[in-house]
Structure 1
Amino acid sequence: MGEKKTCTTEDMQKRVDQYISQFKEGYFSPLSMLARLTEEIGELAREVNHYFGEKPKKTTEKEKSIEEELGDLIFVIVSFANSLNIDISEAFDRSMTKFEVRDHNRWTRLDEQKEDTTHD
């Protein structure tokens, strides 16, 4: 296996933009992007169902992986963000802050579980 590559969201957005910018058609419209996103989610769902669900692949179906489908999904999300001039890093930060504040006490914390088991 090759060397592991890491990149920032800025790197991803630049790389996708360099790729898309070489074509006359450019980015798809927001509605088309949403349709592409939906298609990719469907392909991911299909793979998850093959690996973890009750629906095995047909012998004629091409072998794909969840990792590949997640990669395709990321590409479309980055394309969508680029087409609307959205900085993914900023969007992610806003979302994480929202979840961290709103859901702060929603789930059982691992440190709380440890405390509960020490009381007899």
Structure 2
Amino acid sequence: MTLEEAQKEVDRWIKTYGVRYFSELTNMAVLTEEVGELARVMARKYGDQSFKQGEKDNLADEMADVLWVLICLANQTGVNLTEAFRQNLEKKTNRDKDRHKNNPKL
């Protein structure tokens, strides 16, 4: 599935099952919450914390939740994620094409 297809699919789902989008500010708060849930799994799986009894290693699901809300925000604000990602990749390439190769820490 492409980013464009994902944006259309989320929009279709919202209009079919979700009634309407939450407000942009609410979705920003929800995105922050979802990133926190992702961070919790990362801290337990790759960091120094351990899973509590009943907690699951649902890393992929938490990443998908973050992506879902990000796509909602893109749809609401008129951002074409395919184009935005292409431009962002180009920016990073131009800015960092030699930076990481020349970093002795890497």
- Which residue matches 1:71? 64
Q: Does 2:76 match 1:83?
A: yes
- Structure 1 residue runs of 5 or longer lacking an equivalent are 1-6, 110-120
- 1:58 equivalent among 49, 52, 71: 52
| RMSD (Å) for aligned C-alpha atoms | 1.3
**C-alpha distance in 1 between matches for 2:89 and 2:97:** 11
1:54, distance to aligned residue in structure 2 (A): 1.3
- 2:89 equivalent among 96, 116, 120: 96
- Structure 2 residue runs of 5 or longer lacking an equivalent are none
Letter in structure 1 aligned against 2:87:
R
Q: Which has the higher helix share?
A: 2
Larger radius of gyration: 1
Letter in structure 2 aligned against 1:96:
L
1:102, distance to aligned residue in structure 2 (A): 1.0
**C-alpha distance in 2 between matches for 1:72 and 1:10:** 17
1:36, distance to aligned residue in structure 2 (A): 1.0
TM-score, normalised via structure 2 length: 0.88
TM-score, normalised via structure 1 length: 0.78
1:90, distance to aligned residue in structure 2 (A): 0.7
Identity %: 36
Q: Deviations over 1:14-60 (max 9, x none)?
A: 11001111233x11222111111111110110000110111111113
**Structure 1 residues 5-20: aligned runs within 5 Å:** 7-20=1-14
Q: Does 2:29 match 1:35?
A: yes
- 8 Å contact kept, 2:27–2:73: yes
**Which consecutive segments of 4 or more residues in structure 1 shift more than 4 A?**
none
